Amino acid sequence: MLFNSYTFLFFLLPLILGGYYLLVPRRWRSAWLVLCSYVFYGWWDWRFCGLLLLTTTIDYIAGGHVAASAFPASRRRWLALSVCCDLGILGFFKYFDLGAETANALARTLFGPGAPALPLLHLVLPVGISFYTFQSMSYTIDIYRGQARPARSFLDFACYVSLFPQLVAGPIVRYRDMDDQLRARTHTAAKAGAGIALFVLGLSKKVLVADAVAPLADAAFTQTTPGLAAAWPGLLAYTLQIYFDFSGYSDMAVGLGLLLGFRFPQNFDSPYKAVSITDFWRRWHISLSTWLRDYLYIPLGGNRRGPARTYFNLWLTMLLGGLWHGADWTFLAWGAWHGAWLALERMRGKRSLATALPVPVQTAWTFLLVALGWVFFRAPTFAAALRYFAGLAGCNGAGALPAPTETTALPWMALAFAAVLAFRAPNTWQLALRPTWRLAAALGCLFALCVATILVNSSSPFLYFQF
């Protein structure tokens, strides 16, 4: 189900909040949230609720045994069981066909066209599996490291894994940050007010900005050989679209969490103001970048084994981070692109190539590098990405200007750029919000505009739902 759909806004969300505050006794609120979260997830395809429950059960049992066992070997076995099951489920649904295609291509190269081939299963990718798998898996790892205590009950852990605001697209929340909140959390008017404001702002980012610039990006990236006149506007449109789409979802998730008494971690901090790629990854999808750091980069050795190994670890972490986003060579290329720049900046003491220049130039340089990386992220194939780069370089000619129906996105792009440069990420100032009649009226008008826009254009999925 989409946050930006009429069904959610006017049916499921009022039902969830009404039941949570008015109908359900306090001691049953976690159970109510689990039920509602499974309804929310199952609305898309109820069959995958069993997969979510399976992951939850495996990690809850494994985490309990890790905490209870006094023998290191037993603790390691239960940890291995948890990690292998989680990655096995994720790998099967997300990467089986990519692995089969790669193996088949290698077999044809070595043994000729008649080589036996693995079948392609064309599995439906469960929505949010990458997010909830990483979230659930971190629970067992943190217990093994002594950084988290086991859940008080299976119900608490099920609530943590399935909690609908951040279930399908993050932020990726650690259990240790939710433990106390699952046991007892506060509900205040200030927290609810901040939650409503963040939810409406996030909805506006998605409906009024991201969806408005999407046609220009789609038109450019669907061209076989985009020319210069289409390639650059299309790339800038997509660069803005993915930020406002994903940060809008994160704001809505944080806002919904506040309405239910939970505080989720900040996921964005004005990433397009970054002065280096290193700085960008401190600001973009923060919950993922810190997860990769704590559970992949540091276990690989981090920076403890000399400069060369540090550079390799950075590059490999980002390569696997790219693969986490999707089972395609384009995502590997995107991860390799960012990993290479992170390694280069680490060689220079975490400074970009533009460090000696004024800050606006550093920001523009970093924005350009990030935007070029988005070509791999958006292009349907690696070959299409190369053709798009050719278009950016003018190798495909000037090409045609965007159609009139697509140029309507240009004013919204200008507005989006102004917002990126003028404002800080909302999560950073949410606690400073003071409820006033003017604020309430502004939010009401903004919400009404979003609802009217959805009525005209219909709801569109969030980009990160595909991961």
* Cα distance between residue 165 and residue 13, in whole Å: 10
Stretches in the chain below the pLDDT threshold 50: 427-431
Residue 245, exposed/middle/buried by CB under 10 A (0-12, 13-18, 19+)? buried
CA–CA separation, 156 vs 151, rounded Å? 6
39, 12 in Cβ contact below 8 A?
yes
Q: Which of 65, 285, 325, 338 is catalytic?
A: 325
Which pLDDT does position 346 carry in this prediction? 93
Q: Which amino acid is at 367?
A: F
pLDDT score for 109: 83
d(CA 97, CA 364): 38
Does the bond joining 171 to the residue before it have cis omega, within 30 degrees of 0?
yes
User: How much is the pLDDT for 405?
Assistant: 57
pLDDT at 193: 87
Phi, psi of 245 (to 5 degrees): -70, -50
Q: How many whole angstroms separate alpha carbon 377 and alpha carbon 372? A: 9
Give SS3 for 423.
coil
Q: Which of 197, 207, 339 is nearest to 281 (CA)?
A: 339
Torsion over CA of 273, 279, 281 and 283, rounded to 10 degrees?
-50
- Is the sign of the CA dihedral 134, 136, 141, 145 positive or negative? positive
Domain map of the chain by residue range?
A: 6-185, 190-275+354-466
- The whole-angstrom separation of Cα 403 and Cα 1 is 32
* Residue 325 a catalytic site member: yes
d(CA 193, CA 171) in angstroms, rounded, equals 20
Task: Write the CB contacts of 309 (distance below 8 Å, at least 6 apart in sequence).
Answer: 301
Q: Tokens representing 258?
A: 């506040």
pLDDT at 238: 94
pLDDT value of position 428 = 43
User: Helix 329-347 vs helix 382-392: angle between axes, to the nearest 10 degrees?
Assistant: 60
With helix as H, strand as E and coil as C, how does 330-356 read? HHHHHHHHHHHHHHHHHHCCCCCCCCC
φ and ψ at residue 460, rounded to 5 degrees: -120, 145
Which pLDDT value is given to residue 433? 58
Q: Pick the closest to residue 417 from 272, 280, 283, 277 (CA basis).
A: 272
How confident is the model at residue 429, as a pLDDT?
43
Q: How far apart are CA 38 and CA 18, in angstroms?
A: 17
Q: Looking at residue 406, what is its pLDDT?
A: 61
Q: What is the pLDDT of residue 442?
A: 85
Separation of alpha carbons 120 and 90, rounded Å:
16
